[in-house]
Structure 1
């Protein structure tokens, strides 16, 4: 039950960039893909994931600039689980939402390696 509580807390505490991107991603609006938010993958909770396309979308704030090693370890684990990982800065999501959306759309439409 503790895991479900943690997920609920994370959803409630989403950043402005995560909330903005979620408005664009939900309800199969991108390439008809079902995208989930705040989904656990191993010991990590990813911001967004499309299970069918094996695509993880992470939104990074300024704190990620100083946690490069932790992010690299996280990305390596997720990729080892068979996912591709797209990362965007909060600023990109807020100032260039169309570009972020189009990048995600291309990734969803491209075949898995």
Structure 2
């Protein structure tokens, strides 16, 4: 397993070099009414670094570009997602083109993933650290 210090350094480097699609989604996530919780960018989880993480809901948001269509990359993505789900996380994927074409639809889907429905009240969420 990769050391915690190395994973944190990798996450920090990724945060410093975000893509335009990640920046657009990050700005949008800050506007979501998600009382009492937050999203983290480039968060290390086990051997992986995920694009966005909502710890209170154990929800991971991943953005995918065209290279994720390649067989080798898709196989790695599936293995990674299986591991994350085994650890109790939900993974929601969006294509970069979705973020650019209709950011509001992406944000609505994320809201539903966090609160259960589009018309659900944004109740405060509590992040409980696993020990």
Question: Please, what TM-score do these two structures have when normalized by structure 1?
Answer: 0.90
1:110 aligns with 2:116: yes
The count of corresponding residues between Structure 1 and Structure 2 is: 110
Which segments of 5 or more consecutive residues in structure 2 lack a partner in the other structure? 118-131
CA deviation after TM superposition for structure 1 residue 4, in Å: 3.0
Once residues 2 and 75 of structure 1 are traced to their aligned partners in structure 2, the CA distance between those partners, rounded to angstroms, is 21
- Map 1:1-113; keep pairs closer than 5 Å: 1-26=5-30, 29-32=32-35, 33-66=37-70, 67-110=73-116
Higher relative contact order (CA 8 A, sep 6+): 2
RMSD: 1.6
- Which structure would you say has the larger Rg? 2
Once residues 48 and 63 of structure 2 are traced to their aligned partners in structure 1, the CA distance between those partners, rounded to angstroms, is 14
CA deviation after TM superposition for structure 1 residue 20, in Å: 0.3
Question: Please, what TM-score do these two structures have when normalized by structure 2?
Answer: 0.78
Once residues 4 and 83 of structure 1 are traced to their aligned partners in structure 2, the CA distance between those partners, rounded to angstroms, is 19
Which segments of 5 or more consecutive residues in structure 1 lack a partner in the other structure? none
